[in-house]
Amino acid sequence: MFGIRLLSSGMEKLAGENIQRWLSKVVDGRLRSAAFGTVATAFLQSSGLLMVTMIGLINANLMTVQQSIGIMLGQEIGTTVTAQIVVFDIGAFRLLLVIFGFAFLEYFDNRDWKKYGEIMMGLGLIFVGMTYMKNSLDDLLKIPYFAQLLVTMGQRPMVGILAGLIVTAITQSSTAVTSMAVAMGMNDAITLQGAIGIILGANIGSCVTGLVASLGQSRTARQASIAQILINVFGVLLFMPFIQQYSNLVASTADNLPRQIANAHTIFNVVVSLILMPFVRQIAIVSEWLTPRSRKDEKPKATIYIDENQLSVPSVGLREATRELIRVGYITAEMVADACQALIDLNPELIQRVMAREQDQVDEIDKELTRFINRLINRDLDRAQQARCFQLKNLLVDIERIGDMAEDIAGFAQERIDNNVSFTSAAVEDLQALGRQAHETYVLAIESFAESDAEKALRVCRLESDFDRRYERTRQAHIRRLEAGGCQAQADVIFTETLRMLERISDHADNLAVSVSRSLSERRPVRGIRRPRGGGWNR
């Protein structure tokens, strides 16, 4: 189990950050989706990672249940690779894998080498574990109850199915259970028919990960979990009446029992996936029918990318937290534009929109995202991931404060309406110019973060310096208007406070750009967040 988890962890760290980008490119087409599911699961040694990622995409409306089913069918085939690998007898090489893997983990500072070390050590420990299991079974077979249980599994496959289901549900690893069946086959401790029963049960038990991941998520995410259960239950029901005939067929595929067990696992999953491939749409319809609606479905979540299950795969959770941060950044950018326009045009609708978005979206996203990042920090992260978490927390503070300032400017707009406060034409022109520049600087800062663009980050710093100079000129011009008696006292307060808010927005945008410049060498662009159109600013 430890070897499987270590191997899976190394694979996840190696490819976890890219898994979502790969998924977005193959969702169209059943064969492409199935092929991707097969390759990704075989490579990652984790169907759980794929399931958690898909549920996140479904929650964000970036993937449909029907598209995810094609990947699930391929995923079923990909899970059979480990069983085929562990049948090989690599002799002393298993210890070399453990030794070299440990050396890479302990004595290399390079993060990539450490990932390869995890993979090698995990693979080596799997082979070592198989050897120990094989040797320890001799003692277990001397226990009458255990020996009788294995005999019963061979005679009554339903017992094997239940055993495989329960153990897989507990361990949340069908790979480990299948490997145990192979190890028992190495010792002739189980019949092929009994091993097939365990494999069928393990397939149903593997649905537990997806089911747990979907709890508390959107209805469509729960549909994906139900679809996975339908696929595996259908396969078991299809093969269960013909286990005797199936075992006779599989026995002809190899000379030794361990390879026959591995082949039984592979053939079962390939056949079920091929049979169900033309019925992806129908599976989606049935899963929708079987998924009840809840009150939670009627109330939309403030966040759309993050969910609790991503915490089990830190690389995915970190990427989704980044996407959520970029999203709230664009929301607050629209609020800044709306608030400035409302102040100029005295537009009550824009004022209400800014206030509502601050309370219903920005504040809620800030709470949920902060809680998510805090929990993510406590996971098993490498130094770069920890640094990224702290960076996200700091940037979220900047973004949340910009939202507060947009709300304040909208409040000034309401104050103008309530007290009939007028601005001079010169004051309006100055506010429009500074408002546009603050908004442009902030949007560019978000883009530099989302795209990991050093040039845009540098432009933000230049714009911020230019803003400071323009701010000072505007402030001096306002003082001259006051001295000339061309400005009301209440208008002076609103104008001065608005300038101060815009200057602080520009400063926070500069913070974002500086953060991008510092961390750019270790980051890649974040795909999948499009800058929303509109925002109320007349350009």
Greater pLDDT, 75 or 40? 75
Identify the domain boundary among 262, 280, 298: 298
Give the amino acid at 68.
S
Q: Is the pLDDT of residue 327 over 50?
A: yes
Domain assignment present for 245: yes
What's the CATH code of the domain at 379? 1.20.58.220
Among 11-25, 45-59, 73-87, which is the least confidently predicted range?
11-25
105 and 81 share one domain: yes
Q: Do residues 325 and 448 share a domain?
A: yes
pLDDT of 522 > 60? The answer is no
Is the confidence at residue 298, as pLDDT, over 60? no
Same structural domain for residues 433 and 470?
A: yes
* 533 pLDDT tier (thresholds 50, 70, 90): very low
Does some domain include residue 527?
Answer: no
* 389 vs 126, more confident: 389
Question: Helix, strand, or coil here: 412?
Answer: helix
* Measured distance CA(88)–CA(96) in Å, rounded: 16
Helix (H, G, I), strand (E, B) or coil at 108: coil
Indicate the length of the chain as a whole number. Answer: 539
- Supply the mean pLDDT for the chain: 81
Is pTM beyond 0.95? Reply is no
pLDDT in tens, 440-451: 999 999 999 999
Label each residue of 150-202 as H, E or C. Answer: HHHHHHCHHHHHHHHHHHHHHHCCHHHHHHHHHHHHHCCCCCHHHHHHHHHHH
* 335 domain residue, yes or no: yes
CA distance 39 to 79: 10
Q: State residue 228's pLDDT score.
A: 86
* 265 plus 362 within the same structural domain: no
Same domain, 313 and 174: no
Mean pLDDT in residue range 248-255: 91
Average pLDDT over residues 225-233: 88
Asked whether residue 207 falls in the same domain as residue 346, the answer is no
Do 95 and 223 have their domain in common? yes
Is the per-residue pLDDT at 476 higher than 60?
yes
Domain check: are 324 and 175 in the same one? no
Q: What is the pLDDT of residue 458?
A: 92
pLDDT at 273: 92
pLDDT category of residue 16 using cuts at 50, 70 and 90: low
| Rounded mean pLDDT, 452-461 | 92
Q: Is 208 a member of any domain?
A: yes
Indicate whether 15 belongs to any domain.
Answer: yes
Which among 298, 327, 349 is the end of a domain? 298
Encode pLDDT of 22-43 as tens digits: 665 555 677 878 888 888 777 6
Same domain flag for 315 and 234: no
At residue 44, the pLDDT reads 65
For residues 267 and 273, give the distance between their C-alpha atoms in angstroms, rounded to a whole number. 10
3-state secondary structure string across 206-256: CHHHHHHHHCCCCHHHHHHHHHHHHHHHHHHHHHHHHHHHHHHHHHCCCCC
For 328, how many CA atoms within 13 A lie in the half-sphere containing its CB? 35
Residue 393 and residue 365 share a domain: yes
Mean pLDDT across 359-384: 90
Residue 532 within a domain: no
Give domain status of residue 535, yes or no.
no
List the domain range (segments joined by +) for residue 415: 308-522
Higher-pLDDT residue of 534 and 73 is: 73
327 and 288 both lie in a single domain? no
Residues 30 and 137 in one domain: yes
CB crowding 149-173: b at 16 or more within 10 Å, else e: ebeebbeebebbbbbbbebbbebeb
- Which of the four pLDDT bands, split at 50, 70 and 90, describes residue 539? very low
**What one-character DSSP code corresponds to residue 526?**
P
Total domains, the chain: 2
Predicted local confidence at residue 478, as pLDDT: 85
Instruction: Please determine, for residue 512, whether its predicted confidence score (pLDDT) is greater than 80.
Output: yes
The pLDDT of residue 534: 46
Asked whether residue 252 is assigned to any structural domain, the reply reads: yes
Q: Which of 254, 275, 298 is the last residue of a domain?
A: 298
